[in-house]
């Protein structure tokens, strides 16, 4: 970098967001990009450290952050775009929704002795937003083009599931010269990216733009196809040289308490998926719609999915939104229990939470009560966490029971594992102790069937799914060269 003191002289500048009063009236993306001069200053803050933990430990796809930061600072946007795509198939996705473990691992987070992080927050390089602006510039300038394989192998590969792992694998395999068909049970390609993430975080035109590139590279997409019902597993095995399963962890974690069977208690993904389908113009009958309009909403689960429910409920016109988390409230700024370069367990407030909700930690939901067949009350209590022999234990706090009137409950407590019924059972795949698909170098227990992403690891980050999809493609390509 031209100014080796930039990380000292320049503060981190966060990208802006549309005003709350404006953005809660629609489902448009909320981010406001930084102007180019400010972005160059932010790229200059990359200190060319000796060991870039952002690239190694922090990033599952191993983006080369110091390199593209320097390229941006020197105005070489086209080369930066090429550099970024060399490791990441979908930087326009990760640049929008990734929690940025690369920034947590940035060397600028290492020294907290001054107390700056506790006062004004961490000051890592603005990697995620720089990544987003690079790829968006690439699309505008026409640098993102199809990469058609010069030689075809005449090998046919089926990819089942079109989430980030499946799409990354499909693109890499097509570029290696294989004929790839992606099967998706929904009406459109994208999996979690299209149906699980709200439009205000990821406009679905962003996905369609990348799918056009993949189609031009030879990837075939078949939607509305349920493998195991519309097409049998045996048919896939006969028609394809290899099968890649990337169906994700589709079984949501349930809350088995009294009153769970009452109406208006829904899994978060059912709620979010429906709103995305409505936004896409699908016809959803009024009696089937899950709406928060004019209702008291309780979101159970304090993670990203819960936050997405909060933002969606607010846009639907909820009267009041509560969000419960059973774990303790994290500290602000830094946490000695998760020191650099680990992902810090610290207090974060999402843009959806900024829009208005009441957040509570150390809360356990004990039961639901209803009026007739519909939920009317959430009953819970506060809990206390203690550590004994290295294990954390939870106990109810005496006298802390409470009740909250509610008209809609959204369960956002994460996912357990891949759905076992159907294709997994048809292929007789071995499972691990957590119910995930068991693999050896991505190869399942069934010859010629491979798997990656959340159905192997359990629920994880989109960027990890992309990395797994890329590695899956490499394993399949090597296997095909040997058989």
pLDDT digit string (tens) for 393-424? 999 999 999 999 999 999 999 999 999 999 99
Least confident of 7-16, 441-450, 457-466: 7-16
Residue 449 has pLDDT above 80, yes or no: yes
Angstrom distance (rounded) from CA 186 to CA 224? 5
pLDDT digit string (tens) for 286-299? 899 999 999 999 99
Tell me what pLDDT residue 336 has: 87
Q: Are 474 and 173 in contact (CB under 8 A)?
A: no
Of 100, 120, 125, 116, nearest to 7 by C-alpha is 125
Average pLDDT over residues 154-181: 98
Cα 25 to chain centroid, rounded? 24
Give pTM, 2 decimals: 0.96
Q: How many residues does the chain have?
A: 483
Average pLDDT over residues 73-94: 97
Average pLDDT over residues 122-129: 92
Residue 483 has pLDDT above 90, yes or no: no
Tell me what pLDDT residue 121 has: 56
Average pLDDT over residues 435-459: 98
Least confident of 49-53, 153-157, 393-397, 441-445: 49-53
Tell me what pLDDT residue 270 has: 98
Residue 43 has pLDDT above 70, yes or no: yes
End-to-end CA distance of the chain: 48
Q: Does domain 156-250+416-482 have CATH number 3.40.1390.30?
A: no
Residue 114 has pLDDT above 70, yes or no: no
Residue holding tokens 């994460």? 414
Q: Do domains 156-250+416-482 and 265-411 have the same CATH topology?
A: yes
Those residues with Cβ within 8 angstroms of residue 478's Cβ, 6 or more apart along the chain or in another chain: none
Angstrom distance (rounded) from CA 128 to CA 478? 32
Angstrom distance (rounded) from CA 274 to CA 282? 9
For 6-141, CATH gives: 1.10.1060.10
* Boundaries of every domain in the chain: 6-141, 156-250+416-482, 265-411
Query: How sure is the predictor about 47, in pLDDT bands with cuts at 50, 70 and 90?
Result: confident
Of 411, 414, 420, nearest to 460 by C-alpha is 414
280-283: long-range contacts, CB 8 A cutoff, minimum separation 24 = 280/188, 280/204, 282/187
Tell me what pLDDT residue 115 has: 55
Residues of the chain with pLDDT > 90, as a percent, come to 89
Residue 103 has pLDDT above 60, yes or no: yes
Tell me what pLDDT residue 50 has: 85
Least confident of 47-61, 134-148, 277-291, 359-373: 47-61
Average pLDDT over residues 250-258: 97
Query: How sure is the predictor about 109, in pLDDT bands with cuts at 50, 70 and 90?
Result: confident
Least confident of 67-81, 116-130, 177-191, 339-353: 116-130
Region for 194 from its dihedrals, namely left if φ exceeds 0, alpha if ψ lies in -120 to 50, beta otherwise: alpha
Average pLDDT over residues 140-161: 98
Task: Pick 91 or 121 by higher pLDDT.
Answer: 91
Tell me what pLDDT residue 255 has: 97
Tell me what pLDDT residue 252 has: 97
Query: How sure is the predictor about 122, in pLDDT bands with cuts at 50, 70 and 90?
Result: low
- Residue 269, SS3? helix
With DSSP H G I counted as helix, E B as strand and the rest as coil, what are the percentages for the chain, rounded to 5? Answer: 35, 20, 45
Burial of 233 (0-12, 13-18, 19+ CB in 10 A): buried
Average pLDDT over residues 180-196: 97
* 127 HSE (CA, 13 A, CB side): 32
Which CATH superfamily hosts domain 265-411?
FAD/NAD(P)-binding domain (3.50.50.60)
Residue 220 has pLDDT above 90, yes or no: yes
Residue 119 has pLDDT above 90, yes or no: no
Q: What angle do CA 347, 351, 352 make, to 5 degrees?
A: 100
Tell me what pLDDT residue 247 has: 97
pLDDT digit string (tens) for 310-333? 999 999 999 999 999 999 999 988
Show the tokens assigned to 331. Answer: 């500290």
């Amino acid at each position: 970098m031209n100014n080796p003191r930039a990380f000292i002289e320049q503060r981190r500048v966060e990208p802006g967001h549309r005003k709350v009063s404006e953005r809660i009236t629609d489902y448009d993306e909320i981010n406001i990009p930084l102007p180019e001069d400010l972005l160059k200053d932010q790229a200059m803050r990359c200190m060319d450290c000796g060991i870039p933990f952002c690239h190694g430990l922090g990033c599952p796809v191993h983006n080369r952050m110091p390199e593209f930061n320097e390229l941006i600072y020197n105005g070489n946007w086209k080369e930066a775009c090429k550099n970024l795509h060399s490791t990441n198939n979908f930087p326009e996705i990760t640049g929008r929704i990734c929690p940025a473990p690369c920034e947590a691992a940035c060397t600028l987070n290492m020294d907290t002795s001054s107390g700056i992080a506790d006062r004004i927050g961490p000051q890592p390089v603005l990697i995620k937003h720089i990544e987003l602006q690079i790829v968006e510039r690439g699309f505008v300038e026409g640098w993102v083009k199809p990469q058609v394989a010069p030689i075809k192998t005449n090998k046919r590969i089926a990819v089942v599931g079109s989430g980030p792992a499946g799409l990354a694998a499909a693109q890499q395999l097509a570029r290696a010269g294989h004929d790839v068909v992606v099967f998706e049970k929904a009406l459109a390609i994208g999996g979690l990216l299209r149906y699980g993430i709200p439009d205000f975080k990821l406009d679905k035109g962003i996905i369609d733009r990348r799918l056009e590139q993949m189609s031009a590279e030879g990837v075939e997409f078949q939607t509305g196809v349920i493998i195991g019902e519309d097409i049998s597993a045996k048919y896939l095995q006969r028609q394809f040289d290899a099968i890649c399963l990337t169906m994700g962890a589709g079984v949501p974690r349930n809350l088995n308490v009294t009153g769970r069977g009452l109406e208006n208690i829904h899994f978060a993904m059912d709620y979010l998926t429906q709103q995305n389908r409505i936004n896409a113009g699908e016809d959803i009958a009024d009696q089937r719609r899950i709406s928060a309009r004019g209702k008291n909403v309780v979101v159970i689960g304090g993670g990203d999915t819960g936050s997405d429910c909060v933002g969606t409920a607010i846009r639907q016109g909820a009267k009041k939104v509560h969000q419960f988390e059973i774990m303790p409230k994290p500290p602000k700024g830094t946490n000695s229990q998760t020191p650099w370069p680990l992902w810090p367990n610290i207090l974060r407030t999402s843009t959806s939470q900024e829009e208005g909700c009441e957040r509570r930690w150390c809360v356990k939901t004990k039961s639901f009560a209803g009026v007739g067949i519909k939920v009317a009350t959430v009953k819970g209590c506060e809990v206390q966490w203690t550590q004994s022999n290295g294990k954390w234990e939870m106990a109810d706090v005496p006298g802390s029971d409470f009740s909250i009137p509610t008209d809609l409950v959204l369960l956002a407590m994460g996912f357990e594992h891949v759905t076992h019924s159907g294709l997994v059972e048809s292929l007789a795949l071995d499972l691990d102790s957590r119910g995930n698909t068991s693999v050896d170098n991505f190869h399942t227990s069934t010859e010629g069937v491979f798997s990656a992403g959340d159905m192997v690891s359990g629920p994880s980050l989109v960027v990890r799914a992309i990395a797994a999809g890329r590695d899956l493609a490499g394993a399949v390509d090597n296997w095909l060269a040997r058989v």
